[in-house]
Amino acid sequence: MRSLVRYVLNGVLAPLLLTLAVLTPLAWAGPPPEEKPPAERVPALARTWPVGTRPAVLRGWEPPATVYAAGHRGVDLAAVPGAPVRAVAAGRVSYAGRVAGRGVVAVALAGTSLRTTYEPVRAGVKAGARVGAGEVVGTVEGAGSHCPEACMHWGLLDGETYLNPLGLLPPWLLGRGPSRLLPVLGVPLPPG
């Protein structure tokens, strides 16, 4: 009889109690925090446009429905061949070379898991170089390699996930400056 009691205590009851001790806190725990959508993960840390001062966006960001689906994984900015291409934020050049016949420069942004890509660009930097915000990383190559007319494709990735690069730009660079209060007609200004 003692061996039966010992078997039940050691062989059945002990594992059951151990399982309850491990799973009970998990059952009482709250739901995991919701992950922010990719568009909200982009901090506005750009300090300049990659080309020009406020280039026209010829084609916007169109995220693909799935990893291999059609879409536009960046934005096309109006640019003339030979125009300087600048790093939008400080970082390290992770790639400078040719991909499928096009010049590409990629910059891993400092302090983040983000990297920006610029194409078609004749690289003026080498992989591994540190660049500051606004520093020239190359020049726009001629038309016909990405857009029907001359342009520069600007991309943004977080790991393998494509994000909208325009999200890197603070409102004042997008032309949406801070709100300004204007006087209301008919209401006198305070003295002083």
Q: How far is CA 153 from CA 79, 82, 90, 119, 160, in A?
A: 10, 14, 19, 5, 18
Among residues 34, 14, 115, which one has the least CA distance to residue 73?
Answer: 115
How many Å separate Cα 133 from the centre of its chain? 16
pLDDT tens-digit profile of 89-106? 999 999 999 998 899 999
The confidence score (pLDDT) of residue 43 equals 82
Q: Is the pLDDT of residue 32 over 50?
A: no
Using CA atoms, how far apart are residues 163 and 40, in angstroms rounded to an integer? 10
- pTM score above 0.75: no
Percent of the chain with pLDDT over 90: 53
